[in-house]
């Protein structure tokens, strides 16, 4: 899994506001509205503790401060613990945190101590980006393309199947693809079919995974992927609406899913 870098998190406020406006324009709902529709929840007085974690590759300089900005943007009270790791956990609980957020190099989690709900960033991110793709108001069918069936893509594909969409998917890993066919009943996407989509959920850590043979003239691409899977020239040529942001949309989904 590619780790975030401080460069990914630069101008987070501007990226979040631009994507919030884009989501509102093309789906009719802003990110808060999509999260509420997804989970049937609304923020209350939950207090969120964010704990820096030194394991593995260690602390990413702007990660916890970015999380604090995001938590507050979505209407929660939040604080970053003074200490990392176990000491930070003890501090968080002692300070009355309702929700704990922390990440090592493998799992980024939100855990609600009051209702015991817990979620990983992979699942929460896959679900919300897939949901955004499925809400394209100009879509003329329920056909939707999922590119990438790893932990994020699979969670998104599962959500779309449950919502009743015709899910086509592709992944270079044939085992990932077969698992999704067997367990979710998705249809393998083959570029030879020359089928075009107006809704694409892209969940790969690779650039340029979207080719022009895949997309309709009016199309929504929704992706948490870094780098972006949509080549800029194709985005311009097809007037693609792109929802892509490195951290905040997935974090909003995590928070609303555990309250």
Ligand X SMILES: NCCC[C@@H](N)C(=O)NCCCC[C@H](N)C(=O)O
Report the site for ligand X in 63-82 (rule: CB under 6 A).
Answer: 63-64
For strands 118-120 and 99-103, give the pairing.
Answer: unpaired
Q: Rounded CA gap, 177 and 148, in Å?
A: 9
Distance in Å, CB of 188 to ligand X, minimum: 26
- Out of 17, 18, 77, 104, point to the residue binding ligand X (CB under 6 A): 104
Where b means 16+ CB within 10 Å and e means fewer, 207-233 reads: eebbeeebbbeebbbbbbbbebbbbee
Residue number with CB closer to ligand X (171 or 245): 245
Classify residue 188 as exposed, middle or buried by CB count within 10 Å of its CB (0-12, 13-18, 19+).
Answer: middle
Interaction between residue 4 and ligand X (CB under 6 A) = yes
Cβ neighbour number for residue 254 with a 10 Å cutoff:
26
Q: Is 132 in the site for ligand X (CB under 6 A)?
A: no
- Residue 15 in contact with ligand X, rule: CB under 6 A: no
Q: Does residue 9 interact with ligand X by CB under 6 A?
A: no
Torsion of CA 257, 45, 70, 209, to 10 degrees: 10
- Residue 3 touching ligand X (CB under 6 A): yes
User: For residues 139 and 258, which CB has a smaller minimum distance to ligand X in the complex?
Assistant: 258
138 binds ligand X (CB under 6 A): no
Phi, psi torsion values for 185, nearest 5 degrees: 75, 25
Residue in the structure block whose two tokens are 């979620």:
119
CA angle in degrees (0–180, nearest 5) for 200-256-133: 10
Task: Report the site for ligand X in 210-239 (rule: CB under 6 A).
Answer: 224
Residue 123 CA to residue 54 CA, distance in Å, equals 23
121 binds ligand X (CB under 6 A): yes
Site size toward ligand X (CB under 6 A) is 18
Sketch the per residue contact string, 168 through 207, with ligand X: x for CB under 6 A, - otherwise. ----------------------------------------
- Of 11-19, 58-66, 177-185, 206-214, the segment contacting ligand X by CB under 6 A is 58-66
Candidates 10, 42, 95, 105; binder of ligand X (CB under 6 A) is: 105
Please tell me whether residue 103 binds ligand X under the rule CB under 6 A.
Answer: yes
Query: Which residues contribute to the site for ligand X (CB under 6 A)?
Result: 1, 3-4, 52-53, 59-60, 63-64, 103-105, 108, 121, 125, 224, 247, 250
């Amino acid at each position: 899994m590619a780790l975030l870098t401080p460069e990914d998190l630069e101008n987070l406020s501007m990226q979040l506001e631009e994507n919030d406006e884009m989501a509102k324009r093309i789906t009719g709902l802003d990110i808060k509205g999509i999260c509420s529709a997804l989970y049937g929840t609304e923020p209350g007085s939950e207090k969120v503790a964010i704990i820096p974690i030194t394991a593995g590759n260690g602390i990413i300089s702007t990660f916890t401060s970015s999380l604090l900005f995001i938590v507050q943007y979505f209407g929660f009270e939040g604080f970053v613990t003074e200490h990392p790791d176990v000491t930070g956990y003890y501090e968080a609980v002692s300070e009355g945190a309702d929700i704990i957020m922390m990440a090592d190099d493998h799992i980024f989690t939100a855990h609600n101590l009051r209702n015991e709900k817990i979620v990983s960033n992979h699942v929460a991110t896959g679900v919300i980006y897939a949901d955004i793709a499925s809400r394209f108001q100009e879509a003329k069918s329920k056909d939707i393309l999922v590119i990438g069936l790893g932990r994020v893509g699979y969670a998104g594909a599962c959500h779309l199947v449950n919502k009743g969409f015709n899910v086509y998917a592709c992944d270079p890993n044939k085992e990932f693809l077969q698992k999704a066919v067997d367990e979710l009943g998705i249809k393998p996407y083959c570029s030879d079919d020359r089928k075009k989509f107006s809704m694409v959920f892209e969940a790969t850590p690779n650039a340029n995974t979207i080719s022009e043979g895949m997309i309709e003239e009016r199309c929504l691409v929704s992706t948490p992927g870094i780098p972006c899977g949509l080549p800029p020239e194709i985005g311009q040529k097809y007037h693609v609406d792109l929802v892509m942001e490195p951290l905040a949309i997935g974090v909003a989904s995590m928070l609303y899913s555990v309250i």
